[in-house]
Amino acid sequence: MAAPPALSGAEQSAQASPQPIAVRNRAKRPRPPRPGPTDAGRAGGRASARIPLRHDGGPREAGRPGRLDRRGARGAGSGGAGAFPRRLGPLPRTPTLPRPAPRPRPPALTEAHVARIAPHAGDPPPPGGTPLDEAGRLAVARELLAEKGDGPFWVLAYGSLIWKPAFEHVETRRVAVHGWRRAFCMDMHDWRATPRQPGLMMALARGGACVGLAYRMPDDDPEGRMLRLVDREVGYAEDRPWLRWVRARGEGGPIRALAFYCAPVAHPTLLHLPIETQAARIARAAGPAGSCAEYLHNTVVHLEALGIRDRYLWRLQALVAAEIEAEHAGRRGTPPRDAGSGALRT
């Protein structure tokens, strides 16, 4: 058998190298041309190439049936002589309903707990400061009026003034005060306490926020109305640094309101106690005006009725209820620490 003919070098290299695979040419389908100007546009030169969308129920422009765009409006078709629809403005929003007030929660501190605290018996305790006479109260009232400035006379209520205002007012607003929060931070040895069993009074401490009510006083006789407020809320000359005007915000805009008992930077009766120690004092203190637990119970119940939630007061009332239960079950809780054993005075 004859041998195959010898191959040249070029033929041998062509057999050794793989042959390229033919790739199918996948050319993109040409896009249809964009619609050009209309005849009127060519004639006028500056006429718009876009045809406005009909909103009055008139006939549609030529082209495909209309479709919904992302705003939910039906636009004209994009084919034929019809042009692209004009961008619509934002659709009117559905009016939002006001958020319903939260349902009142039953507090852990009940009237039954308050009734377990022994009422004060005996002589009234000595005054806790220098009592204000008539001239002193009038001087305080005039100082506060001078600090008020122009505008209506507003009074801030965050505690007992909510459930016992006891003065005439012509308007009530729900307001928020930023930079101040509720706190039982005022040392008390009378009224709802005694020197033997000291208590705590609620005031506004620096930091956080407080939601309460603001009462607008009538415009007539501002000095007489301020004097009656001072007679009710201020008992001693040492209380004057605790009175100040604060800025509150509500539905009607910002206002300046008089707040009774805002903690000063430093004062002999200002205490910073842990919340457990506060609860121990409040659960035991009582004086000629009642108990501290009664004051806390009334405040929490009325705040809940107004839909105002204060996490600090809600936790404190639960601790006070537990202290009272432990006290009357024979399992005494942690005894309250006095100023000399753990209380921080500033």
Which residues have a catalytic role annotated?
233
User: Three-class SS of residue 101?
Assistant: coil
Alpha helices in the chain (DSSP H): 9-16, 39-44, 111-115, 134-148, 160-163, 222-233, 275-282, 292-305, 311-328
Tokens of 179: 């930079």
CB proximity list for 260: less than 8 A, separation 6 or greater: 156, 161, 229, 233, 234, 242, 243
Question: Nearest-CA neighbor of 273 among 181, 184, 203, 162?
Answer: 184
User: Three-class SS of residue 290?
Assistant: strand
Helices (H) and strands (E) in the chain, counts: 9, 11
Cα separation, 91 vs 294, in Å, equals 54
Cα separation, 69 vs 72, in Å, equals 5
